[in-house]
Chain A
Amino acid sequence: MNRQYDADVIVIGAGGGGAVVAKELGEKGIKVLVLEAGPWYGNSNWPEPNASKGGVSSSSYNDLSIDLLKHSFTDLEDDMNNLITGKLRWGPANRERGPWPRMGGLAWQNSGVGGSTLHYFGNCPRAYPSQVYNVWPISYQELVPYYEKVEMTLPVYPAPTTDKEELFYYGAKKVGWQYLEGKEINNPGYRPQPNAILRPNPLLMDPDFDLQNNRSVGCTLRGHCINGCNTGPAVEAVAKRSTMASYIPGALRTGNVEVRPNTFVIKVLTEGNSTGEIHAVGVQARDTWTGEVNEFRAQVIVMSAGGVETPRLWLNSGLPENPWVGKGMVTHWFDGVTGIFDENDLMNTLGISSIKPFVGQNAAARFDYPGLGIVMTVGITPGLFSSLIYASSSKGYSFINQRDLQAPWDVEGEIVGEQLKESMRDYTRTLSLTVFTDDTVSQENGVTLHPELKDENGYIPVINYTASEQDIIKRDKLAVIAADILRAAGAKTVIRSNWPPGIFIHIMSTMRMGYVTDTNCEAQQVKRLFIADNSVLFNGLGGPNPTLTTQALATRTAEKIAQLYFS
């Protein structure tokens, strides 16, 4: 490595995509420096990641500490997932400071080594082939070997069944939907979730198995995926395969990767040559504890800051104008449809008295419908559960709304007051389904900079998203399908939340391949600058959860970087 460089490659962001590039390049012997804005949980260089600055960086696998991780990840949902003060929030490590501001809706992401995969559910379906073939600038076949590699590395398995999933399968089957086999989905039907969660501990059902002192490998179905899983004997063997537990330990094992948390990149630096072509040469980054700004230089820079921050950083760096930077955002515009069941009915169908949404993996069963999107079970702890299902609606308060007698649900809108208390009294007999819409790419939707408001990292991002007529139709169809499945399973009451379009969970395609980058994911206007996160996806994949595809593409991008610049 040339001495004028801090590394061969700098990766900005250690989340879903960035961690993959780091490990893949490290394995090829390329020196990588990962700069991550948030904290690092489970690393002995940061014994108190939220309370004091700790070390500067870590490049040793031996620094990882499962004991520290268990200490930080408390399984308590306000401690972990409060949007303002939680450990998994979009903000600096220091929780006495506020979150980093954004405008235009709730972009539910978090900072930290692992990025938003720290609180993701681990769902890893592939894109619908029909949404890639002849649509993307690269073919579906081109992605397959990379899908296979990521599926093996994470690894990805079909999720196990607990009561809530069985009730869902029972309903879906009763409606007449087909069971889907295989990874390539071309027809509607239901299946266990392909997810990046290690299979259940083989001793789990043994009554003598000591859960209290368990330090063995495997999921224990305890339902804390969203609160940042800590089940396992080592960070690398934690059951839920956030990149903190999968690709980052793998990257450290190569001996070629250094990760520097608490480091917010505020500018990408470029140089031009006589022909007017510009290329990336480094970055400026700010220490989130001290405010100190440093420059880092490398031969190649990879932006993996996520669907909002990657375009924000491009714009704040004054990189060349491009009408698609920040534009074309899709989010799968979610919805929630929920069924409340009677004890007697559950006894008659499954022989159980409750289904306990907090038991089992958070999203272990799904229904796919290429052309429309997805319906998926979601069972989570009660604070998040109530606020997502009963407090998120574009329809206002349900008690004010007129009951629509044509609608397949009994109630629509927010549920408050005694009705909320009654609904939550039925929490253990509630099955909630989440809908993801195959929403349309539009250049009107996306991320811009606020013209005046800045935080310490530059002008703040403003998100704009409006659903199209088509999106509304697709989402309504999926909501009806979800309600029918719940009804068939025996739900006594069905509630449609009807989420507003301003809650963003799958933020994708704000730096689209073919428009902002070429098919190698290198920026068309800035050489040696690559993109490897959800923003480079060409579209919303037809509805499937995006991370696996982002990771497959990131694996491919690492290969391209090595071929183009380090062979």
Chain B
Amino acid sequence: MDHSESVQDYVITEDERLPFQYLVNDIIPRSPELAYLYGIIQYYGALDSQIDEYLIINLDSQDVPLAKVTAEMLNYVYSGAGIFGGTEFLTSLAAIDSMPAPFKDNPAMIISSINSLVSSTMMGYYSEWSGYGSTRLAQPNDRVLEYAPISWSQIGYPGPSLGYRALRQYEF
């Protein structure tokens, strides 16, 4: 199959990426200290696996694309205290005049959107997604797993398996 066209299915602008990069880096940072303690593989974080792009394509794969407005919302978050700034801070942002819908006057939406971005960051990073490599931005049916994600080596997950000879004889 020719993937050249579908690889460009999702068009992501650099501007749009920035706030998502802040967010994924907050959740799964690069870690020189862990690298020092446990080996270089532990250095890498979500930015090295383009998890910001994962968030963007997930948001834009819904019938109402949400990446652009979410980027705008996150820009306000990061011009202030960031995602760890606390509920009061995040709540206050909903009142900003130029906050886009659906976040304007809707603090619960800001908070739930950030929560789901946090959990998507983990799903993106620890699942196979970054291993789709050059096909990662293609439509889901056209992606091909090209290599094992860095995260799998960091945590000792060998990838999908056909079976494990792991039965134990346990006497109750």
Contacts and interface: CB of A to CB of B under 8 A. Distances in A.
A221 B168 CA distance: 11
Interface residues of A, number: 75
Contact of A163 (B122, B124, B166): B166
Interface string A248-259: 000000000000
A245 to B, nearest CB: 18
B157 interface: yes
A84 interface: yes
Nearest to B163: A220
Given A95-B141, A418-B29, A424 B154 contact: yes
B157 A427 contact: yes
Interface string B107-120: 00000000100111
A214 to B, nearest CB: 7
B47 to A, nearest CB: 13
Contacts of B124: 78, 383
B126 A383 contact: yes
Interface in A389-412: 390-392, 396-397, 400
A46 to B, nearest CB: 13
A387 B120 contact: yes
Among A74, A82, A86, A421, chain B packs the most CB atoms within 10 A around the CB of A421
Given A163-B166, A214-B162, A416-B118, A382 B84 contact: no
A176 interface: no
Judged by DSSP, the binding face of A is loop
B108 to A, nearest CB: 11
A201 B151 CA distance: 31
A503 to B, nearest CB: 10
Interface string A96-111: 1111010000000000
A199 to B, nearest CB: 10
B64 to A, nearest CB: 8
Given A82-B123, A381-B157, A425-B154, A360 B164 contact: yes
Interface stretch (A112-120, A203-211, A284-292): A203-211
A163 B61 CA distance: 39
B18 interface: no
Contacts of B160: 74-76, 222, 224, 381
A382 B126 CA distance: 6
A424 B145 CA distance: 22
A82 B26 CA distance: 22
A382 B140 contact: no
Contacts of B166: 162-163, 221, 356, 359-360
B129 interface: yes
Contacts of A165: 168, 170
Given A85-B58, A400-B84, A421-B42, A387 B167 contact: no
21 contacts: A51-B141, A75-B161, A79-B143, A84-B62, A97-B63, A98-B64, A101-B63, A162-B168, A179-B172, A204-B163, A207-B165, A211-B163, A222-B160, A223-B164, A381-B160, A386-B122, A386-B126, A396-B87, A416-B26, A416-B27, A424-B151
Given A95-B141, A425-B155, 8 more contacts: A74-B160, A95-B140, A101-B63, A221-B165, A381-B160, A391-B122, A417-B27, A422-B34
Interface of A: 48, 50-51, 74-79, 82, 84-86, 95-99, 101, 160-163, 165-166, 169, 179, 191-192, 200-201, 204-205, 207, 209, 211-212, 214, 220-224, 231, 354, 356, 358-360, 381-388, 390-392, 396-397, 400, 414, 416-418, 420-422, 424-425, 427-428, 455
Interface of B: 26-29, 31, 33-34, 38, 42, 45, 58, 61-64, 84, 86-87, 115, 118-129, 139-141, 143, 145, 151-152, 154-157, 160-170, 172
